[in-house]
Amino acid sequence: MADTVEGALSGIRVLDLGCGITAPHCAKMLGDYGADVIKVEPPQGDPARRYGPFPHDEPHPEKGGLFLHLNTNKRGVTLDLTTRTGASLCRGLAAWADVLVENHAPGYLASLGLGYDSLKALNPRLVMTSITPFGQWGPHSGWQATEMVAFAMTSRLFAHGQPDREPLRYAPDVVSFQAAVTAATATLGALWWAQDGGQGQWVDVSMQEAMINNVDSRTLITTYSGRSIGRRDRIAGGGYPSGVYPCGDGFMLFAAGGDRFFRRLCRAMGRPELLQDPRWATPDVRAPHKDEFEAEFLVWLVERDRAEVFRVCQAEGVMCAPILTTDEVFRDPQLVAREYFQQVVHPVAGEVLLPGPPFRMAETPWRVARPAPQLGEHNLEVYGELLGIDREDLVRLRATGVV
């Protein structure tokens, strides 16, 4: 077993019945700060094991990049919950746990005798966190949905992109990870209550609601005015460019701003005389001449690389950032200085570089105490330690397909 170091959540016991991203990432966040997490997979493994990328492009159930990232600091067991014996063993694990995290369809675990009401009778202090696209009840609760479906039903997709084009989605998996972080936060709140009052509760996390809660101004405008707010043009208030623009070696993002930011941008461009041009002298006259300003702006951008654009814009207080490529982020000086990415050695996948802590705690730091488990790696350890199952019994359970 891995050595133990006191973490912020040391002593907390978590049962991860999830697959894919949402529940496993929620459980990972707890494990990375010290909780003892047991990941329960079906005998064939979490489907995330089959998702790339794979180290060295070698497909292998122990080398799935997504699985390796989402399941650090977990002990791993296999268990077929659909069998009577498997469900019974799961109830034994739930009696041990402080927290159970899952992302199955509403009603699925209850159909196996593993719903919250059944588990609460065994373990009144249990916090059970369920993550689904639309929540445990309501007319859409039974719908199957990918993250894209949940995102489309938040109104956030409708508000993204250019007004004369189709809506644009966020980067892949943003909704799943947002829901997972929301679930981890909610779980800690429920856990605090359980430890203070001795009673657990069921935490119902809707991916749709978690994303809407991550509100933007357009949602608030609709709330206050009753008007549906759609996509905006790249030239924002005061004629200030907003959106993604090309430059000499890639792309820059310019955030929305007003008149003062327009003035700063002209100074950053080394073109303060543009502010005297009657087409751009005041916010009121800029909008009809936005294309003409963009022509000047784009010429300035494409003659410079991102580093220079960022440097001169930072000096003038212009809100912008270089858009890093997937390989550049590993060389970003800020992330390198903070030693963000962590080298983890997996017994099958070898050395892999994984994302590091989402936040820093000075006294109880984040750490990778163990790599993601191999399939069924801790069956003997966990079932023997927690349920008293010896090696011979485990062999019989494996022969009958329970583990």
Task: Return the CATH number at 254.
Answer: 3.30.1540.10
Give the chain's domain count: 2
Residues 241 and 302 in one domain: yes
Q: What pTM value is reported for the model? A: 0.89
* pLDDT, mean of residues 347-375: 93
Residues 19 and 136 in one domain: yes
Q: Which residues lie closer than 8 Å to 293 by C-beta, 6 or more apart?
A: 235, 239, 241, 274, 279, 280, 286
CB 205, CB 182: distance < 8 Å: yes
Residues 261 and 390 in one domain: no
Task: Return the CATH number at 178.
Answer: 3.40.50.10540
The pLDDT of residue 67 is 96
In this prediction, residue 224 has a pLDDT band, given cuts at 50, 70 and 90, of low
pLDDT digits (tens, 9 = 90+) for 23-48: 999 999 999 999 999 999 999 999 99
Residues 354 and 208 in one domain: yes
207 inside domain = yes
pLDDT digits (tens, 9 = 90+) for 166-218: 887 777 788 899 999 999 999 999 999 999 987 999 999 999 999 888 766 66
C-alpha span between 46 and 39 (Å, rounded): 10
Residues 163 and 17 in one domain: yes
Question: Has residue 137 got a pLDDT over 70?
Answer: yes
Q: What is the overall mean pLDDT for the chain?
A: 91
In this prediction, residue 52 has a pLDDT band, given cuts at 50, 70 and 90, of confident
**Full domain range(s) for residue 144:** 13-214+337-399
Q: Which residues lie closer than 8 Å to 27 by C-beta, 6 or more apart?
A: 14, 16, 18, 37, 39, 74, 101
- Amino acid (one-letter) located at 128: M
Residues 298 and 151 in one domain: no
Question: Has residue 234 got a pLDDT over 90?
Answer: no
Residues 300 and 366 in one domain: no
